Amino acid sequence: MFEGVSAGFAAAFSIANIGYLIVGCSAGTLIGMIPGLGPMTAIALMIPLASTLEPASGIILMAAVYYGAIFGGSTSSILINAPGVASTVASSFDGFPLSQQGHAGKALAVAALSSFSGGIIAALMLLVSAPLLANLALSFHSSDYFALIVLGLVSVAAFTGRGELRKALLMTILGLMLSTVGTDQTQGIPRFTLGLVDLIDGISFLLLVMATFAISEALLAIMDPARGRPDQDTKKLTSLKVSKKELKDITPPVLRSSLSGFFVGLLPGAGATIASFLAYGTEQRFANKEARDQFGRGSLRGLAAPESANNAAATGSFVPMLTLGIPGSGTTAIMLGALIAYGIQPGPMLYISEPVVFWAVIVSMWLGNTVLLVLNLPLIPYIARLLTVPRTALLPMILFFSLIGVYLVSFNTFDIFLMTLFAFCAVLLRTCGFPMAPLILGFIMGGMIEENLRRALLLYDDSWSFIWERPSTGTILLLAFAVLVWPGVQSLRERLKAQ
Amino acid sequence: MYVKKLLVGLFCVSTFAAFAKECTPGTLDNTHFLIPGGAGGGWDRTARGVGEALVRSNILDLATYENMSGGGGARAIAHLIETGAPRTLMVNSTPIVVRSLQGVFPQTFRDLTPVASVIGDYSVIAVRSQSRYEDLHGLLSDLGNNPRGIPVAGGSVSGGTDHIFAALIARGAGVDARAVKYIPYDAGGKAMAGLLSGEVAALSSGFGEVVDLVHQGWVRLLCIASSSRLPDLPELPTCKEAGAPEALFVNWRGFFAAPSVPGETICAWQQMLADLQTTREWEEVRERYGWVELHHEGPDFMALLTEQEHTLRRLLNELELIE
Amino acid sequence: MNSDRFKVRAFDTRTGALLLFVFCCAYTWQAFEILQINHTTALFTASSMPRFLGFLGMAVSLHLILFPGASSEYVAPPPLRRWLLMGAFLLLMISYGFALRPLGFMLSTSAFLAAGMYLLGQRSFVAFVSAAVIVPGLFWLLLTQVMGVYFPLWPMAT
């Protein structure tokens, strides 16, 4: 094994490959920052270039683009509340408030550091346990996935720290409803399409996010000139300083989230998005009261947790792809296609028959994360300066990028109209005090929950017995229950202690 | 070279004689490819792969691409018919037949001009390597005894191509289409994960999607839905031989043009695609993606489409998914 | 305290809940219109989840209307003038959607950005040109040259 690792190192450290790493990270970051162009598009566009290279170099390039795009997505998520990548939505919950408070530089720095940690820890775990983990991932049945997503949904309670449980619940239900629009996956029946061709494929996630986050935020800013004008103190804005105390404070969440993120990312079907929401919810749930109140208002923990989780999950999703040839997400599916294009057969044989490629990929994950950190940290002050663009230009541009970003995916002007409608509704709801985040959560989870539940029921002939017949399902559901009641228990304990 | 062009020209003339169309191939410098799906998808890769090989082998000077997703292909089809684009080829595959039958869009392939198919993915039945089924007979006998106890996974919805194929296989055991316990997953990869997890007994999928896992030793193929064995894998029996004679099914990918496009252009495209088959560049592209060649032009392509429509209609009726 | 319960404020929890209640009713109604495949013996059909969600949504929103609870941090809604401004932007976005294909990317985007900036108070010609012309131009270059995305600049057929 060690010759493999060292050969992998040697391959990864070649001048050319370092060059590809840098190019990939930069290109990925830039592309990821444009709302609408995420890792999938970025990698797909890189394939023609990558296929002219050696397999190891090509994979390194694509992995770099992938990480870069995720970081780019975080950047736009934090700076303008326009997460173009599903896995960075959770980062906006505390990232955007932070940048609104004038701490954009710090927020980006924390995001970069957390992502880096998540990626490194995950790559380490990947190194040590890839084959074992693949088998674990494989043993998950539909009912287990169902339970896992219920667990994810329960995180909605995390967004309601201030007693607004019903509003959040209602928004989650709304999100679940929106996810049912389109063609039913199991039976192929159209639902809620209102006879429109354009709704047959459902509502795209990107469209919903851009409308309810970016566009509605811009519209609200248009209505209220005082809003969205972060503290103009450029020194504070562009300062990357993160105090020692703050670093110490975010370390446990980062460690926990990296681990949970990695395991969630392992499962084909789950991914960086669920991982980031889970991490956010968990950290909020298990924080003491004082810290918990900070969530949603600019808590560094609230930013660090999803950031480490999504990067760790992204790395975790490489496991089923490399060891089994099963893509866990759209992005890994594209990378898988690229691997096959090189004539490389992913599977447990991979690290026996092509050790150089296997280890080069893993090593490049470390390198990719490092390069990303090193490259992007100095750039952060310049990126943060984006916020000083005058609002008369910035707001129309945000609208433009949001609209065109979605248009570029489908080339269907219907999407522009739909986004306008959603944005208007979002503005109304937000003015009434309804949070948008649970909407997105419900939407993302909706499809998966229904799909897996129906499959489980089909397999068990319409009986719900999988809940107790499969210990894994039962355990995860129990866990979800625990997460739900934990704060109640916690406050009860605190009250008892006070007596 | 001249002889080849002459032969191809003669071929065009003779095959189009039935349509009483003059097939003098025009000159083609560029072609615009219309892709009814998003970037990175199967259609997208096919069109770009074909275009790339055509340009690199100098058959074509320029290939441009346009993605137009929506309605499972409905938008692109409507667009093609309405605009009658004279230089545009639309890529599509078996789902165009399925979805027409299901009424997802009002048009059928007859409203377009089928040009040629280029690649095809034959359906296969796969089981885990730990499975007790060594051949199709074992699976079929269990299916015959207790169909509800043998769940079969597939990467398409109920009524989709994988379901249809599973039903065709089940007929080999005398099992009614509706009795098949088909478990839909929304993508091939997830269906494969379902198979490997032991959740289902067998997987109905395309050869190209599973072949790598076969080489790795994770899955075993019980049969392939072609009329004769694949030269690359001669030990894999056809489903016909293995006990399910009705199970002939292929997910082809090919090109269509607007109905108003003149015959010379159609002929030129067919010549272009025929020339493509023997180039080294096309072979590279095919190997890259694991595509199996399936080249049918004009009337042959039409025959394939018609036959597939017939089979699908019959099965969708049995499954009571259409009237 | 009790009299507060019946005070009508323009934009508070109740309004939002009412809007959502109406939506849930419409959704539930449509859910019952979903095509049922008769022969399926399956317990859970394509309309099961929508129906469940619809009723649940109706229940929660109704509960919220009747018992809105203490509204946290009531923020005064913006004056009518500002709503009209937002409305203008909504119209602008819709026009952009209509104009994009007939007028082409360059023209419609420049018009959109320029109009948007004007609405927000921008008057400097330099600003107009740099933002409304240069940005779309650069964006288009990036997309078509660097990334090879097919994206016509000028008017094209529907």
**Residue A120 burial by Cβ neighbours in a 10 Å radius (0-12, 13-18, 19+):** buried
Name the more confident of A39 and C5: A39
Specify whether the CB–CB gap between A328 and A268 falls below 8 A: yes
Structure tokens at A283: 């950290």
Q: Give chain A's mean pLDDT.
A: 77
CA distance A314 to A70: 9
Chain A residues whose CB is inside 8 A of the B193 CB are 137-138, 140, 268-269, 320, 326
Indicate the residue of C15, C47, C64 with minimum beta-carbon distance to A166: C64
CA distance A438 to A425: 15
Residue to substitute from A29, A30, A413, interface C, most C β-carbons within 10 A = A413
B238: left (phi over 0), alpha (psi -120 to 50) or beta: beta
| Cβ within 8 Å, pair A140-B74 | no
Are C85 and C62 members of one domain? Answer: no
Q: A–C: how many Cβ contacts below 8 A?
A: 177
pLDDT at B16 (0 to 100): 46
pLDDT at B74 (0 to 100): 85
Nearest 10 degrees: Cα torsion A332, A335, A339, A340:
80
- Amino acid occupying residue A246: E
Tokens 């089923």 belong to which residue?
Answer: A320
pLDDT > 80? residue A344? no
DSSP B246: T
Tokens 């199709």 belong to which residue?
Answer: B136
pLDDT at A255 (0 to 100): 92
Measured from the Cβ of residue B228, the count of other Cβ atoms closer than 10 Å reads 9
Q: A–B: how many Cβ contacts below 8 A?
A: 130
| Cβ within 8 Å, pair C38-B83 | no
DSSP B152: E
Q: At residue B127, what are phi and psi to the nearest 5 degrees?
A: -130, 165
In a domain, C158, yes or no: no
| Cβ within 8 Å, pair B64-C37 | no
Contacts of A444 (CB under 8 A, 6+ apart): A86, A175, A179, A205, A273, A274
Specify whether the CB–CB gap between A309 and A257 falls below 8 A: yes
User: Is A189's Cβ below 8 Å from some Cβ in C?
Assistant: yes
Beta-bridge partners for B257: B113
Residue spans of beta strands (DSSP E) within B129-167: 152-154
Q: Among C42, C66, C90, give the residue marking a domain's end.
A: C66
In a domain, C153, yes or no: no
Those chains having 3 or more beta-carbon pairs within 8 angstroms of chain A are B, C
Per-residue pLDDT tens over the stretch B3-38: 666 555 455 554 444 444 446 666 678 889 998 876
Indicate the residue of B67, B197, B200 with minimum beta-carbon distance to A140: B197
Which pLDDT band, with edges at 50, 70 and 90, does A436 fall under?
confident
Per-residue pLDDT tens over the stretch A54-78: 777 777 888 888 888 888 888 878 8
Residue of chain C whose Cα is closest to the Cα of A41: C147
CA distance B303 to B307: 6
CA distance A330 to A411: 20
User: Is A51's Cβ below 8 Å from some Cβ in B?
Assistant: yes
In a domain, C71, yes or no: no
CA distance C75 to C60: 24
- The distance from CA A391 to its chain's CA centroid, rounded to whole angstroms, is 28
Helices A55-80 and A39-50, axial angle in degrees (round to 10): 150
Specify whether the CB–CB gap between A295 and A93 falls below 8 A: yes
pLDDT > 60? residue C5? no
Specify whether the CB–CB gap between C8 and A158 falls below 8 A: no
Chain B residues whose CB is inside 8 A of the A346 CB are 212
Residue of chain C whose Cα is closest to the Cα of A432: C12
Chain B residues whose CB is inside 8 A of the C150 CB are 64-67
CA distance A385 to A381: 6
Tokens 């209220």 belong to which residue?
Answer: A224
Distance of residue B105 Cα from the nearest chain A Cα, in angstroms = 9
Are C40 and C62 members of one domain? Answer: yes
Name the more confident of A79 and A428: A428
Specify whether the CB–CB gap between A131 and A322 falls below 8 A: no
Distance of residue A459 Cα from the nearest chain B Cα, in angstroms = 7
pLDDT at A172 (0 to 100): 86
pLDDT exceeding 90 applies to what percent of chain A? Answer: 7
Residue of chain B whose Cα is closest to the Cα of C42: B181
Are C13 and C62 members of one domain? Answer: yes
User: Is A185's Cβ below 8 Å from some Cβ in B?
Assistant: yes
Q: Mean pLDDT lowest for which of A158-162, A317-321, C43-47, C139-143?
A: A158-162
Measured from the Cβ of residue A459, the count of other Cβ atoms closer than 10 Å reads 20
pLDDT at A292 (0 to 100): 76
pLDDT at A19 (0 to 100): 82
**Residue C154 burial by Cβ neighbours in a 10 Å radius (0-12, 13-18, 19+):** exposed
Those chains having 3 or more beta-carbon pairs within 8 angstroms of chain B are A, C
Beta-bridge partners for B31: B63
Nearest 10 degrees: Cα torsion A232, A233, A239, A244:
-110
pLDDT at B89 (0 to 100): 92
3-state secondary structure B19-32: CCCCCCCCCCCEEE
Number of domains in chain C: 2
| Cβ within 8 Å, pair A167-C64 | yes
Indicate the residue of A140, A185, A414 with minimum beta-carbon distance to B157: A185
Q: Which domains does chain B have, with CATH numbers?
A: 2-120+250-316 (3.40.190.150), 121-248 (3.40.190.10)
Specify whether the CB–CB gap between C97 and A420 falls below 8 A: yes
CA distance A28 to A66: 6
CA distance A26 to A29: 5
Chain A residues whose CB is inside 8 A of the B71 CB are 197-198, 200-201
CA distance A31 to A236: 27
Helix, strand, coil proportions of chain A in percent (round to 5)?
A: 80, 0, 20
| Cβ within 8 Å, pair A346-B212 | yes
- State how far the alpha carbon of C149 is from the alpha carbons of A70, B60, C142, C145, in Å: 21, 20, 9, 8
In a domain, C75, yes or no: no
Residue to substitute from C149, C150, C156, interface B, most B β-carbons within 10 A = C150
In chain A, residues 408-437 whose CB comes closer than 8 Å to chain B? 409-412, 414
CA distance A460 to A5: 45
Specify whether the CB–CB gap between B22 and B277 falls below 8 A: no
Per-residue pLDDT tens over the stretch A375-427: 777 776 666 565 556 777 778 887 887 788 778 767 788 989 999 999 999 99
Residue to substitute from B212, B285, B319, interface A, most A β-carbons within 10 A = B212
Per-residue pLDDT tens over the stretch A93-147: 888 888 888 787 788 888 888 988 898 898 888 877 766 765 666 778 888 888 8
Chain C residues whose CB is inside 8 A of the A169 CB are 60
User: Is A140's Cβ below 8 Å from some Cβ in B?
Assistant: yes
| Cβ within 8 Å, pair B288-A188 | no
pLDDT at B151 (0 to 100): 93
| Cβ within 8 Å, pair A138-B40 | no
pLDDT exceeding 90 applies to what percent of chain C? Answer: 21
CA distance B279 to B260: 30
Indicate the residue of C37, C39, C157 with minimum beta-carbon distance to B83: C157
pLDDT > 60? residue A366? yes
Distance of residue A354 Cα from the nearest chain C Cα, in angstroms = 31
Which of helix, strand or coil describes residue B44? helix
pLDDT at C9 (0 to 100): 52
Chain A residues whose CB is inside 8 A of the C113 CB are 396-397, 400
Q: Among C66, C101, C116, give the residue marking a domain's end.
A: C66
Q: Give chain C's mean pLDDT.
A: 78
- The distance from CA A156 to its chain's CA centroid, rounded to whole angstroms, is 16
User: Is A193's Cβ below 8 Å from some Cβ in B?
Assistant: no
Using alpha carbons, select from B81, B79, B82, B77 the residue that is nearest to residue B105. Answer: B77
pLDDT > 80? residue C119? yes
**Residue A498 burial by Cβ neighbours in a 10 Å radius (0-12, 13-18, 19+):** exposed
The DSSP-derived string for C61-106 is HHHHHH---PPSS--PPPPHHHHHHHHHHHHHHHHHHHHHHHH-HH
User: Is A461's Cβ below 8 Å from some Cβ in B?
Assistant: yes
- State how far the alpha carbon of A350 is from the alpha carbons of A4, A14, A59, A346, A361, in Å: 12, 22, 14, 5, 12
Tokens 């019980």 belong to which residue?
Answer: B222
- State how far the alpha carbon of C64 is from the alpha carbons of A46, A158, C11, in Å: 50, 19, 14
Per-residue pLDDT tens over the stretch A207-242: 887 788 778 878 887 887 765 444 444 445 566 667
Specify whether the CB–CB gap between C50 and A177 falls below 8 A: yes
What is the average per-residue pLDDT within A365-384? 73
Chain C residues whose CB is inside 8 A of the A393 CB are 117, 122, 127, 131
Local confidence pLDDT in tens for the 323 residues of chain B: 556 665 554 555 544 444 444 466 666 788 899 988 766 667 888 898 899 898 888 888 888 888 887 777 888 898 888 888 888 999 999 988 888 888 778 888 888 999 999 998 899 999 998 888 888 888 999 988 898 889 999 988 888 889 999 999 998 888 888 888 999 887 776 788 888 888 999 999 988 878 877 887 888 999 999 888 888 788 899 998 888 888 889 999 999 999 988 888 888 888 888 888 888 989 888 887 778 888 998 899 999 999 999 988 888 888 877 65
Which pLDDT band, with edges at 50, 70 and 90, does C48 fall under?
confident
Contacts of A355 (CB under 8 A, 6+ apart): A3, A4, A7, A8
Query: With a cut of 0.90, is the ipTM above it?
Result: no
pLDDT at A38 (0 to 100): 66
| Cβ within 8 Å, pair A324-B218 | yes
| Cβ within 8 Å, pair A343-B218 | no
- State how far the alpha carbon of B310 is from the alpha carbons of B101, B113, B166, B313, B316, in Å: 10, 19, 17, 5, 10
Specify whether the CB–CB gap between A400 and C113 falls below 8 A: yes
In a domain, C137, yes or no: yes
pLDDT exceeding 90 applies to what percent of chain B? Answer: 20
| Cβ within 8 Å, pair C82-A177 | no
In chain C, residues 38-97 whose CB comes closer than 8 Å to chain B? 38-39
Are C138 and C103 members of one domain? Answer: yes
Are C7 and C57 members of one domain? Answer: yes
Indicate the residue of C39, C150, C158 with minimum beta-carbon distance to B178: C39
Specify whether the CB–CB gap between B8 and B276 falls below 8 A: no
Contacts of B217 (CB under 8 A, 6+ apart): A347, A349, B129
CA distance B156 to B162: 6
Residue of chain A whose Cα is closest to the Cα of B106: A197
Q: At residue B184, what are phi and psi to the nearest 5 degrees?
A: -80, 140
Overall size of chain C counted in residues: 158
Measured from the Cβ of residue B197, the count of other Cβ atoms closer than 10 Å reads 18
Tokens 């998950």 belong to which residue?
Answer: A140
Are C9 and C59 members of one domain? Answer: yes
* ∠ CA B42-B232-B190, rounded to 5°: 40
Are C87 and C141 members of one domain? Answer: yes
CA distance B159 to B315: 9
User: Is A195's Cβ below 8 Å from some Cβ in C?
Assistant: no
Domain span at residue C41 reads 2-66
Specify whether the CB–CB gap between A157 and A424 falls below 8 A: no
